[in-house]
Chains A and B, each alone.
Chain A
Amino acid sequence: MARELLEGNVAFAEAAIRAGCEAYFGYPITPQTEALEHMARRMPELGRAFLQAESEVAAINMVYGAACTGARVMSSSSSPGVSLMMEGMSYIAGSEVPAVLVDIMRGGPGLGNIAPSQGDYFQIVKGGGHGDYRPIVLAPATVQELINLTVEAFDLAERYRCIVVVLADGCLGQMMEPAELPPMRAIRPSAERPEWALNGAEGRSPNVISSIYLEPLEEEEFNRRLLAKQAEIEAHEVRFRELALDDAELAVVGFGTSGRVAQSAVKFARQEGIKVGLMRPISLNPFPYDALGRLADRMRAFLVVEMNGGQMVEDVRLAVEGKAPVRFYGRMGGVVPFPDEILAEIRKLNAPTEA
């Protein structure tokens, strides 16, 4: 496969197709509509299902229904649309069926605007819908990573029978970068669907998929099973990227777009002789608590950079456990920080503290 110049939205849609996505349900919303457009063109020509629903509420419930058949299914949207999907997400989590959602975040709250934002970290990483569940959340920073993580999302969703959210923002959705798409995977034959799938009970006892546990003790048992699954996910699926941390005294932490802007700032700071590195969490659930905790043993201070008012910083503080000061720099409302703003914060962090 050769590198192509790909827009983020088109890249993740095509990556999903090549990962064997059999059905896509969605509703247009800027800044991710190009994904829907790509799916609208490609899925029918491959004999797969594309459906533009009447709303995001309908779309996620179609994802729920199709996921129950054991097919690879997905939706994508942006912040306000994703909010509308939260009830369905909870039902999907409560039914333990695999589903993939790509959220191209934009400025909020409310209708907000269509500019890039990371304001939905709390909503997505901590669960979103009601009840005790957490999706796996993956945060790409480049178009290539967006492609790779979308493919991986389908595998993880099936392995853990859970929701996997690829959490990006309008910046990554709209930008073009050279990237390589994976080869086309064959669609799994329906006879090889998972044994829990609802695909006709001929010759076997019927499967039941439901999120109702009227008896509290049974519901608690189910909750425990989700917790055990979360523990397994935490043990096996932590992903992050470290840069220039070997000899560093200061660490900048940022995910997605703010992580890659911070990468530029770290590079400039290094040119000034400041011993600073970058820790970029890629899996937001499971969060790299241990890796950050280990860094906290040898860092003088941390700077967390986000395109929100301070959300992931709470998880960084949990990981650092007070072993080093954790400062925060955020831009909100759809504003993407420039590298020089973060560089100024790194300089401040590096300045000798007053006695």
Chain B
Amino acid sequence: MQTEIIISGFGGQGALFAGQLLAYCALDLDLHVTWIPSYGPEMRGGTAHCTVIISDDEIGSPLVRDPRAAIVMNLPSLDRYETLVKPGGVLVVNASLVDRQPTRQDITTVMIPATEEAEAIGDRRMGNLVLLGALLELLPVLPPEAVGESLGRHIPAHHRDLLKSNLEAMARGAALASAARRDAVEPEAVSPGAA
């Protein structure tokens, strides 16, 4: 079983680090994993994305055309990856920077105002972890507690004071995704067209 996740945004939003955190957790759980960044003549404000593949078996290609899930942190990323997510997959959208709803009906989508949520916890730079928490709620690829433990194990020493609020950011993202999923399911259950 192989799960592919693309995380995409502007440089500086933490897309690459969020992907690395998944990779570290997969390593800690003794799974197979690949992490590959986009790289180029990068500049602040340019695009940055990474592909993470997690598998219980040897991984061939580290790149995929159609991932199981994507976290899109800005509008260009939504435009690029919404169409590519596999049917039945998951799309997590950073509502703080994206002003349109995804249109796909065959995937689970959720809009998370990550920047505002992260600011409320104390640092807007933790938006990436709010979104990651939301993803892990909707895509059971790694146990969120394990990702939290890996964060504690691999967070750089000079950011260790941010560990607690980072965990809080992930939990907040998970709670928002869980609530959004309930809202999405309930109207459908009473919809006259559902039969």
Contacts and interface: CB of A to CB of B under 8 A. Distances in A.
B45 to A, nearest CB: 19
A267 interface: yes
A340 interface: yes
By CB atoms of chain B within 10 A, which of A31, A115, A264, A340 has the most? A264
Contacts of B63: 171, 261, 336, 338
B60 A260 contact: yes
Of A3, A175, A267, A340, chain B has the most CB atoms within 10 Å of the CB of A175
A214 to B, nearest CB: 48
Size class of the A contact interface (CB-based, 8 Å): 20 to 34
B62 A171 contact: yes
B37 interface: yes
A341 to B, nearest CB: 8
A108 B136 CA distance: 40
Contacts of B65: 338-340
A114 B40 contact: yes
B37 A263 contact: no
A338 B60 CA distance: 11
A262 B66 CA distance: 16
Interface string A4-18: 110000000000000
B109 interface: no
A5 B35 contact: yes
Contacts of A170: 39
A155 interface: no
Contacts of A339: 60-61, 64-65
B93 interface: no
B23 A263 contact: no
A283 interface: no
B61 A263 contact: yes
Contacts of A30: 39
A77 interface: no
Given A5-B24, A5-B27, A340-B65, A175 B60 contact: no
A267 B27 CA distance: 23
B179 to A, nearest CB: 33
Interface string B99-120: 0000000000000000000000
B36 A174 contact: yes
A177 B64 contact: no
A44 interface: no
Interface of B: 20, 23-24, 26-27, 32-37, 39-41, 58-66
Interchain residue pairs A-B with the least CB separation, the first 3:
A264-B60, A263-B60, A175-B36
Interface of A: 3-5, 30-31, 114-115, 170-171, 174-178, 260-267, 336, 338-340
